Amino acid sequence: MNDSHVILVGAGPGDPDLLTIKALKAIQSADAILYDALISEEILAMIPDNCKRFNVGKRCGAHKMSQAEINEFLYKMSLRHQCVVRLKGGDPFIFGRGGEELEYLQERNVETTVVPGITAAAGCAASCNIPLTHRGYGNSLLLHSGHSSAGEFDPTHTDKSKQTQVFYMGMNQAESISRYLIEQGHQPDTEVAVICQGTRKNQASQLGTLATLPAMAEEMKHLTPGLIILGSVVGLATHQQQKLLLEQERLSA
């Protein structure tokens, strides 16, 4: 493993004041930055002069670099530079292909961390005074991709088995949530993550399934606030955790 580090950074929806302090620190400490087309000029102006910058942006209909080329370029940069920032619009993990880049880098043993950003839904709604949830009006929120990789609207994007579901304020109701979703046809082995005190120093998380959700939540409910994430995307973290455990076992053998 080389000792370089890649940070996938969410730059928010455009207003430079919506950049997080952590994102700003990452930008300021980068030796190289790869940014996409959604990054505003004001944010680009924050990149230090001595930092190498690469526009790998893609605009609909005028592809500059394919995702495969970006992955490869990102990896190459990580071999050449100590700290590489991949600056992406909004949040890297919400329709941002951050998951694909993370997997690609992890498969090559490049240390990679993620700085979340304000996603377009949150930014645009706030700027129009639209509360995305509101007691009595809206109690769940679905974020859809309006186009497939071929560009058209793909109705299977509304397929429930491919939806990620996130439950806020659900720790004490985990048993009912699990039972209801299984009754609704979700497979009991659907991957679930329970994350308490998320992003804080005392973060605790458990990965399991819809069937083990009640037990996980029971075990962790003294650590609230907690969030429940359900869907096959959780399996990507499980896979990575298994790889880490195997690596630790190999090193300690």
Catalytic residues, by residue number, are 36, 58
Nearest distance from C-beta of residue 121 to ligand SAH, angstroms:
7
The Cα–Cα gap between 210 and 55 comes to 41
Contact flags string 21-40 toward ligand SAH, x per CB under 6 A? -----------------x--
Is residue 13 close enough to count as binding ligand SAH by CB under 6 A? yes
Q: In the complex, which residue's CB is closest to ligand SAH?
A: 90
Is residue 14 close enough to count as binding ligand SAH by CB under 6 A? yes
Q: Which of residues 47-106 bind ligand SAH (CB under 6 A)?
A: 88-91, 94-96
Query: Position of tokens 């071999």?
Result: 79
User: How many chain residues bind ligand SAH (CB under 6 A)?
Assistant: 13
Nearest distance from C-beta of residue 89 to ligand SAH, angstroms:
5
Contact flags string 103-132 toward ligand SAH, x per CB under 6 A? ----------------xx---x--------
Nearest distance from C-beta of residue 36 to ligand SAH, angstroms:
9
**Cβ proximity to ligand SAH, 90 vs 170, nearer residue:** 90
Give the residues lining the site for ligand SAH (CB under 6 A): 13-14, 38, 88-91, 94-96, 119-120, 124
